[in-house]
Amino acid sequence: MASEGADENTSAAGADGASGERGARGSAETAADTTADTSAAAEAARPASGESVRIDSWIWSVRLVKTRSMGATACRGGHVRVNGERVKPAYSVRVGDEVRLRHAGRERIVVVKRLIRKRVGAPVAVECYVDNSPPPPSREATAPAGIRDRGTGRPTKRDRREIERLRGLGGPGALGGQGGEPNSSPGPR
């Protein structure tokens, strides 16, 4: 029986190929199948009726963060805001909410279009929100600070402080004051 089905598929493919219609129709069918697959995947990841979705789970599901624990940590750290308010990881997100996430040096602003509770592929995830984020800065605009020429050796203490000042990390003398750390001892006795 399996061989009969294979023979029918082969003969149907041969007939389409002979008429030349298969190429044009095949690409349209593939696009329709892809759209159907993405919407089917989103529907499968949708919560049951009456079930809510946690914000940390949602931002992980739509691939704004790499892991759910990173989403929870971002919420606890105050990096996630829903409709302008800081939220805890267990906050229930709803369709139409505006989610602001500060992650990896940039702010993402998205509006929830669809609730999902399971992580899905990138094409499906993009359909679950409207991205209103500002474009990321160009690579030229974010000049790398502290890159040293090859062969210059290990940075001196003065070089290290200069690199930290350029990066904005601060350090003991970042506020313009001289001297060491406040808890350091005055020296050997």
pLDDT, tens only, 77-102: 999 999 999 999 999 999 999 999 99
Contact criterion met (CB below 8 Å) for 124 and 42: yes
CA-based nearest residue to 47, from 127, 116, 126, 129: 116
The angle at the Cα of 168, spanning 70 to 165, to the nearest 5 degrees, equals: 145
Q: What is the model's pLDDT at position 66?
A: 95
Q: Which among 46-60, 102-116, 148-162 has the top mean pLDDT?
A: 102-116
Please state the pTM of the whole predicted model.
0.58
User: What count of other Cβ atoms lies within 10 Å of the Cβ of residue 118?
Assistant: 13
Mean pLDDT value of segment 53-77: 95
pLDDT of residue 162: 86
Is 188 a residue whose pLDDT tops 80? no
Residue partners of 91: CB distance under 8 A and separation at least 6: 54, 55, 75, 82
